Amino acid sequence: MFWRIIAVMLALSVCTTADAGEFPSRTVTIISPYQAGGTSDIIARILAQKLSEQWGKTVIVENRPGANGGIGVTAVTRFTASARHSV
């Protein structure tokens, strides 16, 4: 058990020394898979405001309701797939 704790502490110390560079380097979009005005939307907008203040970058909340969240999830997967190819 002791060695596991040491291994986790070592792994965390390596992770904290990694340089992330300038993050975020552009506008951030939060996709909410639920309708505007609901609890999830309010929480996403509060989070976006706080992140925008902390990062000094624009954070946008985009609502994509429908199909029990499926439309929002599809939008995120398409965005991440296109982002991987553009790098």
Residue 37 domain flag: yes
DSSP 3-state helix, strand, coil percentages of the chain (rounded to 5)? 60, 10, 30
Neighbouring C-beta atoms of residue 32, cutoff 10 Å: 22
Instruction: Provide the β-strand partners of residue 62.
Output: 31
pLDDT tens, residue by residue, 3-16 = 666 666 656 655 55
pLDDT (tens digit per residue) in 36-85: 888 888 998 999 999 999 988 899 998 888 888 788 888 888 877 776 66
Examine residue 40 and state whether it is found in any structural domain, yes or no.
Answer: yes
Task: Kindly report the backbone phi and psi dihedral angles of residue 10, in degrees, each rounded to the nearest multiple of 5, phi listed first.
Answer: -65, -45
Residue 30 sits in which domain range? 19-86
| pTM, two decimal places | 0.63
Q: Which of 37, 57, 33 is nearest to 45 (CA)?
A: 37
Residue 2 located in a structural domain: no
Is residue 33 pLDDT above 80, yes or no? yes
**Is 48 within a domain?**
yes
On whether residue 80 sits in a domain, the answer given is: yes
Structural domain count of the chain: 1
Any domain includes 3 = no
CATH of the domain at 73: 3.40.190.150
* β-pairing verdict for 28-32 and 59-63: parallel
For residue 12, being part of any structural domain is answered with no
